[in-house]
A and B are shown apart, each in its own frame.
Chain A
């Protein structure tokens, strides 16, 4: 190394923004992070891959009424974010942990928007299109004749999955448009998707059970496959994956509150909620947008 090189290195080291005494403060962070990781690993060590949607299954309306400290009728008056955290005793096999979300509340879409603000989308317009225009929010299962509940972690899984589809769509569109800058951005976003906090870190009551961990890993694994296909420019593989994992949005014009509300839905109908409404005027046409298939 020449003297100039040595001096240059010294100058660069002097410009290092890292404090010289950083090691001491790092120790606490490293210990804390390891504790977090241990909890995550304990939850995800057993990960049977199941082709199944995260579903909110709480044992009947009575369970929700107990959770919310009132009757089912009273629960309907609550906002989507109930503030009630699912506990191991109320969390059934397929119910993701976190805050109980009332899918019939009129502010559901706003609540989902709030809960998933950190999930990256190609644009805010696309985010709006997905959150406000999505035909269903997986998980949605009746917990009774007229009650639909989910969890904050489940909603975050779902929106993150939709976001992966959105980035994949954007990559395909950028390829068609021969827009290399946009393609690169899409590849970068997709590469980061498997590590999105919405997939990896669960809020609320903490850990995923075996079933939901399996579903999470399925989502993450598919997101990784999509990312790999995009990174390799393999459109055929991308299409093969997304055509089974994502389906075009079928949100019709004038998409509005279903007459009769959720109770009017049958078990064979696609999941819908009483709060469905048209996407905001600012949202783009969803024709290009894909969403995860409703097939579990």
Chain B
């Protein structure tokens, strides 16, 4: 049963903000608005076969991720924006939130060492606030597999030489 226009608006009001946040974190800010519109246009066009309400959040993030990857590929070809964290770096530098800060640089370097799927699982859960099951769905994994990979990614990150010095020191946090 396709969702109604009212339900579609409710879907937008509930999730557009966080999808916009995801797009702005992962890609150029200038593209985020257009991509957000495209995400929800896809949702409207697919309104007859959208997943159940509980799964729609992950579906929207998954669509946003695919559009972002395609947009990035269209611009520069090759790897997606999540294969490095340069987009996030630029964004961060623009906003001066982490900039050249040592911790920020160390975290970004450590993140860059992770496999793309592992990194995305981690960021979807920590930055975007998705559940492990939702994040797994976004990257195309079953929840169990996502949970295992997320656990391993955390362990790898914690063991990263650039972060080891930072982890025992909670004072600045």
Contacts and interface: CB of A to CB of B under 8 A. Distances in A.
Interface of A: 3-5, 7-20, 22-23, 26, 29-30, 32-34, 36-37, 40-41, 44-45, 118, 120, 185, 188-189, 191-192, 194-195, 197, 200-201, 217, 220
A270 B170 CA distance: 72
Interface stretch (B51-59, B97-105, B131-139, B141-149): B97-105
Contacts of B37: 33, 36-37, 40, 201
Contact of A18 (B16, B104, B111, B127): B127
Interface residues of B, number: 55
A127 to B, nearest CB: 11
16 contacts: A5-B154, A8-B157, A15-B92, A15-B104, A17-B25, A17-B98, A18-B25, A33-B16, A37-B41, A40-B37, A40-B44, A120-B73, A191-B70, A192-B66, A195-B38, A197-B38
A115 B130 CA distance: 38
B20 A26 contact: yes
Contact of B34 (A23, A185, A197): A197
B70 A18 contact: no
B44 to A, nearest CB: 6
Classify the interface of chain A: helix, strand, loop or mixed.
helix
Interface in B105-149: 107-108, 111, 122-123, 126-127
Given A18-B24, A189-B70, A13 B36 contact: no
A197 B31 CA distance: 12
A12 B127 contact: yes
Contacts of B84: none
Interface in B13-29: 16-17, 20-21, 24-25
B154 A14 contact: no
Given A14-B173, A33-B16, A191 B66 contact: yes
Given A29-B32, A189-B70, A14 B98 contact: yes
Contacts of B74: 118, 120
B8 to A, nearest CB: 8
Contacts of A192: 66-67, 69-71
Given A17-B25, A26-B21, A120-B74, A11 B103 contact: yes
Contact of B103 (A15, A18, A22, A217): A15
Contacts of B24: 17-18, 22
Nearest to A13: B126
B158 interface: yes
Contacts of A14: 98, 103-104, 107, 173
A195 B67 contact: yes
Contact of B45 (A32, A120, A220): A220
4 nearest CB pairs, A to B: A192-B70, A17-B92, A15-B107, A17-B91
A217 B107 CA distance: 44
Contacts of B36: 29-30, 33
Contacts of B97: 16-20
B67 A32 contact: no
A118 B163 CA distance: 40
Contacts of B89: 17
Contacts of B34: 197, 201
Contacts of A18: 21, 24-25, 91, 95, 97, 127
B50 interface: no
